[in-house]
Amino acid sequence: MRAVAPLLIGTGIWGLVTGVAMVKIGLTTAQAIGMTLLVFSGTVQLASLPLIAADAPLWVVMLTAAVVNLRFLIFSAGLHPFFRRFSVGRRWLLSYFMVDMSFAIFLSRFAEAPHDERGTTEQVWFFLGMSASSWIVWQTMSIAGIVLAAEVPAQWGLEFTAILALIAMTLPLIAGKPALIGAVTAGVIAVVAAGLPLKLGLLVAVVAGIAAAMSAEIMLERRSAKTGGTT
């Protein structure tokens, strides 16, 4: 809990914004609460809401959600050595609670653990403690946003919540040059491709941002390796 506490404020703000946004695009209270409980992914929720509001085809919404969450394939591979002794069902359950910060904090603490010391009770409870704390804060603040959405002035509309959502989504991600390059690229592409049909500009922006961040990461690693090799 203490390891993740400093980040829970951002999680709460993000959840609150997402709750407001779900109601502002036209979801009922029951639908919004159902979505936040079932999906538990702020990036997917905020990426899919404009598509839902625009009556985009289901396949576009699903494809966008899949692209946005591709990073969890990498996360799962990184955590597999620590949880492989669990049954498939338990691993599926644990995957529901996995979020970016839990993955990052967990590996920063246990990545160097010897192979025969992975999957210990301490590690499992550490992961569960972080994930449960994040889940409770997210759901509490998201539902608060759903309930309080009616208090947001109507003239602010979806545009206001979209701006708040963009800030909430972007700030936690901008850590280092690759993330900054990816965020700027996604922002520029989102503006340029805003006129694409079916709101595909969002999907294109996400893909471009991920590609730019990955390319920047590779280039920086190569430059670092080259510099290290010549000193």
Task: For 47-102, give the DSSP string.
Answer: HHHHHHHTT--HHHHHHHHHHHTTHHHHHHHHHHHHHTTS-HHHHHHHHHH--HHH
Clarify whether residues 10 and 103 are in a common domain.
yes
> Is 33 a residue whose pLDDT tops 90?
yes
Residues 152, 192, 167, 29: is their CA dihedral positive or negative? positive
Read off the tokens for 3: 């390891």
Dihedral (C-alpha) 29, 35, 38, 40: value to the nearest 10 degrees? Answer: -110
Rounded distance between C-alpha atoms, residue 215 and residue 218, angstroms: 5
Q: Does the residue 198 lie in any domain?
A: yes
User: Quick check: 203 and 60 in contact, CB under 8 A?
Assistant: yes
Q: Does the residue 217 lie in any domain?
A: yes
Clarify whether residues 140 and 190 are in a common domain.
no
Q: In this structure, what are the phi and psi dihedrals at residue 118, rounded to the nearest 5 degrees?
A: -100, 140
pLDDT at 173: 54
Clarify whether residues 90 and 132 are in a common domain.
yes
Dihedral (C-alpha) 220, 108, 96, 99: value to the nearest 10 degrees? Answer: -60
Clarify whether residues 33 and 131 are in a common domain.
yes
Clarify whether residues 25 and 98 are in a common domain.
yes
Question: Mean pLDDT across the stretch 79-87?
Answer: 88
Give the domain extent around 198: 174-231
pLDDT at 162: 53
Rounded distance between C-alpha atoms, residue 124 and residue 136, angstroms: 18
Q: Does the residue 197 lie in any domain?
A: yes
Q: Does the residue 148 lie in any domain?
A: yes
User: Quick check: 185 and 212 in contact, CB under 8 A?
Assistant: yes
Residues with Cβ < 8 Å from 57, sequence gap 6 or more? 198
Average pLDDT, the chain: 80
Clarify whether residues 123 and 229 are in a common domain.
no
Overall domain count for the chain: 2
Give the tens place of pLDDT for each residue, 146-192: 998 877 665 555 555 555 555 555 555 555 677 778 778 887 887 78
Read off the tokens for 78: 């990184």
28 secondary structure, DSSP code: -
pLDDT at 100: 82
User: Quick check: 101 and 7 in contact, CB under 8 A?
Assistant: yes
pLDDT at 172: 56
Considering 156, 186, 213, which residue would you say is the last residue of a domain? 156
Rounded distance between C-alpha atoms, residue 54 and residue 194, angstroms: 13
| More confident site: 5 or 112 | 112
pLDDT at 135: 93
Give the tens place of pLDDT for each residue, 95-131: 898 888 888 888 888 888 887 788 788 888 888 888 8
pLDDT at 142: 93
Helix (H) or strand (E) holding 223: helix 200-230
Considering 127, 156, 185, which residue would you say is the last residue of a domain? 156
Scanning the structure block, which residue is given the tokens 């608060």? 144
Give the tens place of pLDDT for each residue, 190-209: 778 877 776 677 678 778 88
Q: What's the pTM?
A: 0.67
Q: In this structure, what are the phi and psi dihedrals at residue 26, rounded to the nearest 5 degrees?
A: 115, 0
Q: Does the residue 167 lie in any domain?
A: no
Q: Does the residue 74 lie in any domain?
A: yes
Q: Does the residue 164 lie in any domain?
A: no
Clarify whether residues 222 and 149 are in a common domain.
no
pLDDT at 231: 44
Clarify whether residues 94 and 147 are in a common domain.
yes
Clarify whether residues 137 and 46 are in a common domain.
yes
Clarify whether residues 29 and 93 are in a common domain.
yes
Clarify whether residues 151 and 202 are in a common domain.
no
Clarify whether residues 152 and 185 are in a common domain.
no
Read off the tokens for 179: 């993330």
Q: Does the residue 161 lie in any domain?
A: no
Of 40, 1, 15, 41, residue with least CA distance to 130:
1
